[in-house]
């Protein structure tokens, strides 16, 4: 039980602090908001988010992102532009004709646009980069377009190895609306309102959300260079179990209080460095865990155990990607609403997350449990009752972040633990002591740390020590 609770605690702490760039479905909320500003048209059956967008549908969206829908239709109706492709219907013809006339799209042959063929993630990413003012060969190439888009804070479409869906198109489009144009003078939605033909009244709610979101990003920008903070996480849980071989709970409910608190430091220099000093309390026991990242090694210390292991390429890539890419609008499609309360030079932004975020947390939880050899599908049987994040900004600088949620889970713990059912509430707070390049980390003497045998899960593995 302790191992399960410790894993769950760490997982939810990670999820609460997440800045995501991964896809999660379904982005129904984002689709509805795009519909209110005329970007996305639904049908009697909804927005068909589980279907692949065609090249013709992507062309229509692109013209709208240029703010040129009325212009394209007018030019086409007057005969000043024509569509050279036989496979494009009259609905899409004005859009494709305008894109071809502007040199923004080509057909797959001289007479075919491939209108009914699915649009790929890479192709739509390139469309978006062009709408943001970036140019092929000058700013990006076909080969690095997805990587370049990710550096701007857009969805990492290179991770979409399956079919590119309308759901993914919605998330990317929504992010793009909150992303700066190449010249840096405006973000895309602002540009569409100021310079194009987008209806201002329909966009007002989304504009406010984006601007509050950008305020939070601006106040948090120094954290990408370094951060020193105190964190505190508390969870209260009612846990019941179905013993192996049984079909019903025993009726006994175990009330558990979990807590994790301590100091966190991260310095993003030429080589990222990190130091964690956390005290974890669970099942009436208290355990201090210290973790450091220095050079090519991760060091961990708890109780009498002191171990080290080589980092490998994965952790370096994760940290370097976090440092190099802009925060951008990556989290926007997961946000239901943002409100602001200001007093003097202090403002508190309250961000309520939507169902897409719940889906993301389910996926992360399932992956972490699987990695820690806990069987079953946690994400499939998790119900989150709201997730709220609060950012306190003073003088334009982020001072604290807090989050709270309530959820229930049902997890198959395997033959040893049976099925674990938990109802819980969680709150987390991070008080930022300093940020930016001024953050410095002092390291202890690691000469007596024992090298891990057999990897992270081996006899002296870090994972085993932290979760045992």
**Cα end-to-end span (Å), the chain:** 10
Q: Whole-angstrom Cα distance, residue 185 to residue 191?
A: 9
Supply the DSSP symbol for 388. Answer: E
Q: Please report which helix (H) or strand (E) contains residue 234, including its range.
A: strand 226-242
Q: Which two tokens stand for residue 256?
A: 């558990």
Q: Whole-angstrom Cα distance, residue 408 to residue 385?
A: 8
Q: Which two tokens stand for residue 279?
A: 């005290």
Q: Dihedral sign, CA of 300, 304, 305, 306?
A: positive
In this prediction the pTM is 0.84
CB 348 within 8 A of CB 390: yes
Q: Whole-angstrom Cα distance, residue 216 to residue 210?
A: 10
Neighbours of 253 (CB within 10 A): 14
Peptide bond into 345 cis (omega under 30): no
Q: Whole-angstrom Cα distance, residue 362 to residue 450?
A: 35
Nearest to 388 by CA among 369, 368, 407: 407
Cβ neighbours for 413, distance < 8 A, ≥ 6 positions apart: 4, 374, 375, 376, 419, 420
Cβ neighbours for 86, distance < 8 A, ≥ 6 positions apart: 111, 112
pLDDT, one tens digit for every residue, the chain (468 residues):
444 444 454 444 444 444 444 444 589 999 999 998 888 887 767 788 989 999 999 999 999 988 899 999 999 999 999 999 999 999 999 999 999 999 888 899 999 999 999 999 999 999 999 999 999 889 999 999 998 998 888 877 766 667 899 999 999 999 999 999 999 999 999 998 888 767 667 788 899 999 999 999 999 999 988 999 999 999 888 878 777 777 777 777 878 888 999 999 999 877 788 999 999 888 778 889 999 999 888 899 988 889 998 876 555 555 555 555 556 788 899 999 999 999 999 999 999 999 888 887 777 666 666 655 554 444 446 778 889 999 999 999 999 999 998 888 777 766 666 777 778 898 999 999 999 988 999 999 999 999 876 554 444 444 444 444
């Amino acid at each position: 039980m302790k191992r399960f609770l410790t894993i769950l605690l760490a997982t939810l702490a990670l999820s609460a602090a997440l800045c995501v760039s991964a896809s999660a479905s379904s982005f129904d909320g984002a689709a509805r908001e795009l519909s209110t500003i005329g970007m996305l048209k639904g049908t009697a059956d909804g927005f068909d988010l589980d279907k692949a967008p065609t090249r013709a549908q992507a062309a229509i969206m692109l013209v709208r992102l240029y703010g040129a829908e009325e212009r394209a239709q007018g030019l086409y109706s007057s005969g000043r532009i024509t569509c050279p492709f036989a496979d494009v219907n009259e609905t899409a013809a004005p859009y494709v004709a305008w894109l071809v006339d502007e040199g923004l799209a080509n057909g797959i042959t001289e007479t075919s646009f491939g209108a009914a063929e699915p649009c790929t993630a890479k192709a739509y990413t390139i469309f978006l980069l062009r709408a943001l003012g970036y140019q092929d060969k000058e700013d990006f190439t076909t080969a690095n377009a997805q990587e370049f888009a990710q550096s701007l804070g857009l969805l990492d479409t290179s991770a979409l190895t399956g079919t590119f869906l309308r759901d993914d198109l919605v998330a990317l489009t929504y992010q793009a609306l909150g992303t700066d144009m190449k010249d840096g003078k405006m973000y895309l939605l602002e540009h569409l309102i100021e310079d194009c033909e987008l209806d201002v009244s329909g966009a007002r709610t989304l504009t406010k959300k984006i601007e509050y979101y950008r305020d939070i990003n601006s106040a948090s920008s120094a954290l990408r260079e370094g951060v020193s903070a105190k964190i505190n996480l508390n969870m209260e849980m009612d846990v019941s179990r179905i013993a192996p071989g049984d079909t019903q709970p025993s009726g006994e409910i175990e009330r558990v209080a979990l807590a994790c608190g301590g100091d966190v430091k991260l310095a993003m220099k030429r080589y990222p460095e990190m130091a964690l000093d956390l005290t974890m309390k669970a099942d009436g026991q208290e355990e201090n865990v210290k973790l450091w990242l220095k050079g090519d090694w991760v060091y961990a210390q708890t109780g009498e155990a002191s171990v080290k292991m080589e980092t490998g390429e994965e952790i370096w890539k994760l940290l370097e990607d976090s440092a190099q890419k802009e925060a951008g609008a990556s989290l926007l499609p997961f946000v239901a609403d943002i409100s602001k309360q200001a007093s003097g030079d202090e403002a508190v932004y309250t961000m309520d997350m939507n169902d897409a975020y719940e889906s993301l947390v389910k996926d992360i939880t399932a992956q972490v449990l699987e990695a820690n050899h806990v069987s079953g599908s946690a994400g499939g049987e998790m119900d989150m009752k709201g997730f709220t994040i609060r950012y306190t900004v003073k003088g334009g600088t982020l001072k604290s972040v807090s989050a709270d949620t309530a959820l229930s889970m049902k997890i198959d713990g395997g033959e040893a633990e049976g099925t674990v059912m938990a109802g819980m509430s969680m709150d987390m707070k991070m008080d930022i002591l300093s940020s930016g390049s001024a953050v410095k980390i002092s390291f202890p003497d690691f000469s007596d740390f024992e090298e891990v045998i057999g990897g992270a899960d081996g006899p002296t593995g870090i994972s085993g020590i932290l979760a045992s």
